[in-house]
Amino acid sequence: MITIVTLHFLAAAVAPALVRRLERRTFLLLALVPLGSFLWLLGQAEAAFDGDVRTERMRWIPTIDVRIDLALTPLNAVMALVVTGVGALVLFYCRWYFREGDREMWRFSAVLTAFAGSMLGLVVSDNLYVLFVFWELTTVLSFLLIGHNPERKANRRAAMNALIVTTFGGLVMLLGLFVLGHEAGTARISDILASPPEGTATTIAVLLILVGAISKSALVPFHFWLPGAMAAPTPVSAYLHAAAMVKAGVFLVALLAPAFSDIPGWRPLLLGTGILTMVIGGLRALRQHDIKLLLAYGTVSQLGFLIAVVGAGTRAAMFAGLALVLGHALFKSALFLVVGVIDRSTGTRDLRELTGLHRSLPVVFAATVVAAASMAGIPPLLGFTAKEAALAAFIDLGPDADLGVWGPVALVGLVVGSTLTVAYTARFVWGAFGVRSVTPPTVTPQRVGFVIAPVLLAALSLVGGFAGGFLTPRLLAYAGDAPPGAHEPVLTLWHGFSPALGLSVLAITAGLLLWVARRRVAALQRRVVEGLHVPDAELVYHGVIRGVDRLSIEVTGRTQRGSLPVYVGIVLLVLVVIPGIALAQAWDGVRLRGPDNLLQVAIVIVVVLAAVLTVRSRRRLRAVLLVGVTGYGTALLFVAHGAPDLALTQVLVETFSVVTFVLVMRRLPPFFSDRPFTSARRIRVAVGCLVGLAVGGYALLAANARTARPVGLDFAEPAYDYGGGNNIVNVTLVDIRVWDTFGEIAVLVVAATGVASLIFLLTDRATSHRESRRSRADDKDSGWLRGAGLIADRRRSVVFEIVARIVFPVLMIFSIYLTFAGHNLPGGGFAGGLIAGLALMVRYLAGGRAELDSAAPVDAGVVLGSGLVIAALSGVVPALLGYNAFQSGIFDIPTGLFGYEVHLVTSLFFDLGVYLVVVGLALDVLRSLGGGIDKQGEEKGEIETDTGEVAIA
């Protein structure tokens, strides 16, 4: 089963490509998928009806024990046959329905096929969550189908309505599914049905699930989305209304009915909404002029009927319900397809403009009469036998389901609904094929293939009427386990002068009378609707949506003021207030001690001074240099604490970032923009002091609260044994907490790419170094640094160039040494990469951007990418070899020289990746914030160029 479902999705994936080549003939190919599935299911179904249920299980998400469970129970088999059979015919029909060269066909073909696959998956799923996934897939795909033509506002709105209503129902249902799965202890539907859980939670869960079913099947009060769904192309309406989507709700009710129909609330809810929907849908269908819309309201009415019968939950009713599902699928799809033929032949669907079609489209007319008779419940058709069974079931509903007086009430509702059904069926046939005194529309002749599908479906309705003996045991297999009722249900054309037959005759006669008196009925309806101010469900729904929109605007407008300082201030104040309360309560017993050494005191004084001066400074560069002082001070504090790795990294980072700051600041105005000394500044200072004191308090308290031995001190042994290194901090980075580090270098890659894209915008940063390589070819002699020739002589410094030239290789070698040595001594990929970055920076500062390109003639993106790839590989390769991801291997490789061995730990490769990422970041920063800004300055003529012109600075 998983295979045929998957096949649908594969077909959907290739459909757009096929459409390009085969045009409309694609649909013939696509129809083969549901057709093949139908034939396969036909073979499997017989076993299912005999009680041999085929099941399939697949692992899906083992960590939360979710599996893909599929099963072919008798119910599933009937539904799956309907879904695939009608699906095949609808796709076949699309071949002629669409016009030559329709530009939306590629999308439509894919979505419709995927929709068919989702629907098939839904009706064969045997797991609550799998069912939900397919359920939501049909919701999303039906949104796309209904919104097929987004040019009309009404269509967009119809699609949104369908999406919102069915998603709302789906979410409510999901809640119910979770609770049900939890109560039952399993998500497998067959297990839940075999031993249904009991209790209040289960009752609520099932009722929540029913809300989902009611919304999907368009019952009152959610019925308004279904008529809007006619915005979809007619074949979709045929499929959506007859075999798919709306049938999902019926399916769900039918699925749960055997186990849960006796829980409180089930029957009142389903019988009440079902019969109400049946009557309302019928009444509204009588008011329509568009025959497609008429059918759509007819579907609403029929769905109410189906849900009421299936939901009644007695053996006879469930049997009749399934028979009705089958009958409805056949006649409703046939009728919609007929509407499509009429629409394509005449160009209109308005019954006031149609006349005399029974002469020009005789075959279609015959098919319509048969299918419509089935809808009205006229013998000898499947619709008649199924409705007889339903009426018989409802006659015995009182005693069977212990409903007392409500049984006859439901029966009366059913008969009223059936009467209306007969009336709107008559209206449909008369409307489509009747004779009126209007100009007959010109009828375009259609190909034979176009009418095959509706004719075949209508014929099946006829065959089904006579096949009662064949269908009865098979459909009964679904309801088989339910307790027997007052009578044994059966599908037959003749079972004597029974009360059911009497009611059928009554409904048909009354319905025809309603149709004969249609003008008076219509006038009466109009008067009642206008007189009583019946609330329109769609208007109520739009009122709700409007209210939600207004509420969100009010809430957003009150809370989102749009000012960054205010937002940050609120965040920071929360940081002060909420943990601050806890701080005040726990303040007792904080013990202080003096400085570890005098060096700390001296450094702290400098840092404090620098920090205060930074805030006060109005010049950008001064602020940058002062913040650098705090950074170096922090590095010294690291040294005093005994953290050489931190100190090393901090110094390098601080140097790099100060230079980067300067590179950018040289182009910005020298002063910060003016901020008059206002109350706002006082507030900022107050918030700053509060936050500072709070954070200091938290630090004190956190340190004091620490009583256990730090876990980090126990890292020493594993660091050596498993990580193969002496430098515990480095082993922690590349082995013990390697996932962290991997995440971090990914962030660095993103940041570097962001920097480059902000400066170079649309131009590819990869081209910048190639450009300069080209210009270097015709370079004049440029002394110590080749790239420096681009800089005006006046701004060159020979001493700096010489130093840069000499220092660069030394620094590069040192950076590589640091990376390799980092496992045992202070250093590692970060420090090494930063040193290399500084080396490049020296070259750039001495020789400009061309010199940077000659020092590193590679694209920064390549360096970043290869670093990330190497780091990832060092995690993947051990996993592929059967170890844990990122597990270190330790090898001692003899070199053959004096018995000396090279101690190689594979985490070195990860560190190399880190090294490359940091170098790439440095390269990107220098190329963008250095070279990129230079270039943009030159283009504006504000920086001296090689050619010697000095522009106005």
Partner 1 sequence: MATNYVLVIAIVVLVACGTVLVLERSLSRILIGFVMLGNGVNLTYLVASGPSGDAPIIGMGSGEMTDPLPQAMVLTAIVITLGVTAFGLALAYRAWQLTGHDDVQDDLEDDLVRRRADLDHPSASFDDIAAGIPDEEGEDQPSEPTGVSDDELAAEIEAEDAHEEAAATRSQWVDPRDRDTTRHTPPDDTTTEEGR
What token pair was written down for 768? Answer: 């910048």
Q: Taking the complex as a whole, how short is the minimal distance between the CB of residue 135 and partner 1, in angstroms?
A: 24
Q: What angle do CA 607, 612, 616 make, to 5 degrees?
A: 145
- Beta-carbon count within 10 A of 262 CB: 12
Q: Taking the complex as a whole, how short is the minimal distance between the CB of residue 324 and partner 1, in angstroms?
A: 28
CB-wise, 513 or 646, nearer to partner 1? 646
Q: Taking the complex as a whole, how short is the minimal distance between the CB of residue 448 and partner 1, in angstroms?
A: 24
CB-wise, 581 or 689, nearer to partner 1? 689
CB-wise, 340 or 468, nearer to partner 1? 340
Torsion from C-alpha of 180, 184, 188, 193, nearest 10 degrees: -90
Sign (positive or negative) of CA dihedral 274, 277, 283, 284: negative
CB-wise, 477 or 755, nearer to partner 1? 755
**Among 362, 463, 450, 445, CA closest to 90:** 450
Q: Taking the complex as a whole, how short is the minimal distance between the CB of residue 147 and partner 1, in angstroms?
A: 10
Q: Taking the complex as a whole, how short is the minimal distance between the CB of residue 936 and partner 1, in angstroms?
A: 8
d(CA 846, CA 798): 9
- Beta-carbon count within 10 A of 107 CB: 15
CB-wise, 699 or 879, nearer to partner 1? 699
**Among 429, 283, 291, 422, CA closest to 351:** 291
Q: Taking the complex as a whole, how short is the minimal distance between the CB of residue 212 and partner 1, in angstroms?
A: 24
**Among 788, 780, 870, CA closest to 833:** 870
d(CA 7, CA 408): 48
Q: Taking the complex as a whole, how short is the minimal distance between the CB of residue 157 and partner 1, in angstroms?
A: 5
CB-wise, 527 or 550, nearer to partner 1? 550
Q: Taking the complex as a whole, how short is the minimal distance between the CB of residue 523 and partner 1, in angstroms?
A: 22
CB-wise, 608 or 876, nearer to partner 1? 608
Q: 241 and 285 in contact (C-beta within 8 Å)?
A: no
CA distances from 192 to 72, 492, 913 (A): 16, 34, 52
Q: What is the DSSP letter of 926?
A: I
CB-wise, 107 or 157, nearer to partner 1? 157
CB-wise, 126 or 645, nearer to partner 1? 645
CB-wise, 38 or 715, nearer to partner 1? 715
Q: Taking the complex as a whole, how short is the minimal distance between the CB of residue 142 and partner 1, in angstroms?
A: 14
Q: 416 and 286 in contact (C-beta within 8 Å)?
A: no
Residues 6 or more apart from 866 whose CB is under 8 A from it? 916
Q: Taking the complex as a whole, how short is the minimal distance between the CB of residue 699 and partner 1, in angstroms?
A: 4
DSSP SS3 for 796? coil
Q: Taking the complex as a whole, how short is the minimal distance between the CB of residue 578 and partner 1, in angstroms?
A: 17
Q: Taking the complex as a whole, how short is the minimal distance between the CB of residue 358 and partner 1, in angstroms?
A: 25
Rg (CA), the chain: 39
Q: Taking the complex as a whole, how short is the minimal distance between the CB of residue 339 and partner 1, in angstroms?
A: 11
Q: 296 and 230 in contact (C-beta within 8 Å)?
A: yes
CB-wise, 522 or 716, nearer to partner 1? 716
DSSP SS3 for 26? helix
Q: What is the DSSP letter of 59?
A: E
CB-wise, 702 or 880, nearer to partner 1? 702
d(CA 255, CA 180): 14
Beta bridge partners, 905, equal 890
Q: What is the DSSP letter of 892?
A: E
d(CA 113, CA 115): 5
CB-wise, 538 or 946, nearer to partner 1? 538
Q: Taking the complex as a whole, how short is the minimal distance between the CB of residue 573 and partner 1, in angstroms?
A: 11
Q: Taking the complex as a whole, how short is the minimal distance between the CB of residue 301 and partner 1, in angstroms?
A: 19
CB-wise, 317 or 610, nearer to partner 1? 610
CB-wise, 684 or 776, nearer to partner 1? 684
User: Is 679 buried (19+), middle (13-18) or exposed (0-12) by CB count in 10 A?
Assistant: exposed
d(CA 751, CA 755): 6
Q: Taking the complex as a whole, how short is the minimal distance between the CB of residue 335 and partner 1, in angstroms?
A: 17
d(CA 48, CA 766): 63
**Among 272, 268, 351, 339, CA closest to 299:** 339
DSSP SS3 for 218? coil
- Beta-carbon count within 10 A of 936 CB: 14
Q: Taking the complex as a whole, how short is the minimal distance between the CB of residue 273 and partner 1, in angstroms?
A: 24
Q: What is the DSSP letter of 709?
A: P
User: Is 374 buried (19+), middle (13-18) or exposed (0-12) by CB count in 10 A?
Assistant: buried
Name the pairing type of β-strands 66-72 and 54-61. antiparallel
What token pair was written down for 435? Answer: 């004779």
CB-wise, 412 or 612, nearer to partner 1? 612
CA distances from 944 to 780, 791, 950 (A): 18, 8, 5
d(CA 350, CA 357): 13
CB-wise, 318 or 856, nearer to partner 1? 856
